[in-house]
Amino acid sequence: METQEVLRDAGLIIGAGLLSVPIAALLRIPTMIVLVGAGLLIGPSALDLVQDPLGGLGAQLVFTYGVALILFHGGLGISLKVISRTAVGLGMLVLPGVLITALTVAAVAGPAFGVPFEVALLLGAVLAPTDPAILIPLFDRIRLRPKVAQTVIAESAFNDPTGTVLAFTVAALVGSAAGADITGSLATFAEDLAIGAALGIAGGLLLALMLSAGRLGAWRDSPAAAVLAIVALEYFTVDEVGGSAYLAAFVMGLVVGNMRTFGIRHGEDHAHQLEFTVAQFAELATLAVFVTLGINLPLDALGEYWLGGLAVMLVFVFVARPLTVWLCLLPDRRGGWTREEKLFLCWSRETGVVPAAIAALLLAQGVEGADIAVALVAMAILTTLMLQATTAGLLARRLGLLEPETPPDAVAPLPAGAGTG
């Protein structure tokens, strides 16, 4: 692709995203819905102004580096003290929760599409991860209670590698008549998590020290350049050595946001500057991610599989997620989950970037059932955006889970995790 075409497409995508923001505010609907619609409008399905296939360089940059910045921003705003109280439930949602969702979806996907169980399980595994790229800006907008917001965002960040490894493990089963090496797949899964977490902690501590108020804080006045460079290098390094790069980006943000917990000093002015800078990066990445998703929505596949897909979506939203939440939070006594909090978690499982990327990769590899997976992911994105994202604020208000508004003349406190520990 010529340089001029790249610049033109980038300008059209960002421009469409910027126009979507005031339109969403005017219509009083989540910005992500309008962003996806803008992508559909400028993409090959309508005006055909932009050709940005999922396998292309532009889309790959958006879905890797862009999502990494969103995840870093999500980690930055999370308090370790808050999620430590819900650690049992969080761990259950991230590990067995993904498998419960995949099995529940598989139970209906098999009969709906007439495919073998292993293919149905593959479809469930692709749909299992939730999407922090949607949840982070959504929860920021509605001012959701920190315990609930931070647990769901952390679940979304941590279950990306879980769902990815599960999907590719099942894909190996589907593609191998003799079966796959399950023990090897489990070892790979543990290795991915360990590498991503370890390098995320190391990168986070390095960045925290360089942004700190101490003698090593040489980058404290240049947070924009520091974050852009370290997140990019971290993603590349973790991906090269075989770890979960998304998990590393989130963990790195978590460490930087809680640097005082690790005994690293950070001035309040610099903490505010860092949070503002990263929020701007995350906003730009969000615009690009969802417009690009809209450009790549497979309308042809949606038309072919819509009937079976509708049955899967009903089970996916109204059975799989509530079943997962109630089973996984049952043993979490320390979390003190209320009925209202559980109900909101049941309604919070938006689908987005990671399932789309997994489905596209499976399709490129020619895995059986990948075309159905692409259609189901598109349906899940549209369904969860239009059904759940539009009603999240209203439901949270009805359940009494919103934080009170800050008076206009009050001094804004530091974000939940940024530099406060």
| pLDDT score recorded for residue 421 | 36
DSSP string, 64-95: IIIHHHHHHHHHHT--HHHHHTTHHHHHHHHT
371 Cβ partners below 8 Å, 6+ apart?
Answer: 301, 363
Cα distance between the two ends of the chain: 46
| Euclidean distance between CA atoms 104 and 315, whole angstroms | 8
The two three-digit tokens of residue 378, written as one number: 């598109």
Secondary-structure breakdown of the chain: helix, strand, coil percentages, each rounded to the nearest 5? 75, 0, 25
φ/ψ of 144, rounded to 5, equals -70, 150
Rounded Cα distance, 234 and 230, in Å: 6
Residue-wise pLDDT tens digits, 42-96: 999 899 998 777 667 777 788 788 888 988 988 898 888 888 889 999 999 988 9
Euclidean distance between CA atoms 421 and 419, whole angstroms = 6
Q: For residue 147, count other CB atoms closer than 10 A to its CB.
A: 19
Q: Give ∠ CA 165-317-373 in degrees, rounded to 5.
A: 45
Tokens of 26: 């005017």
Q: What is the pLDDT of residues 162-175, one digit of tens each?
A: 787 788 778 877 87
Angle between helices 67-76 and 245-257 (to 10 degrees): 30
3-class secondary-structure state, position 28: coil
- Rounded to an integer, what distance in angstroms lies between the CA atom of residue 27 and that of residue 330? 39
- Full set of structural domains in the chain with CATH: 3-398 (1.20.1530.20)
CA dist 94 and 160 (Å) reads 9
Helix (H) or strand (E) holding 357: helix 353-364
Query: Which segments in the chain show pLDDT lower than 50?
Result: 177-179, 408, 410-421
Pairwise CA distance, residues 272 & 266, whole Å? 10
Q: Is the dihedral of CA 109, 111, 116, 118 positive or negative?
A: positive
pLDDT reported for residue 52: 73
User: What φ, ψ does residue 402 adopt, rounded to 5°?
Assistant: -95, 145
Whether 218 and 210 have beta carbons less than 8 Å apart is answered as: yes
pLDDT at 139: 82
Residue 171 has which token pair?
């894909």
- Closest residue by Cα to residue 193 from 113, 114, 251, 233: 251
CB atoms within 10 A of CB 221: 10
> Distance between CA 157 and CA 257 in Å, rounded?
15
- Which residues sit opposite 144 in a β-bridge? 402
Which structure tokens are listed for 125?
A: 């595994």
pLDDT of residue 419: 44
Residues 64, 309 contacting (CB under 8 angstroms): no
With contact defined as beta carbons under 8 Å apart, do 382 and 417 qualify?
A: no
Q: Name which of 294, 376, 229 is nearest 59 in CA terms.
A: 294
Check: CB of residue 144 under 8 Å from CB of residue 68: no
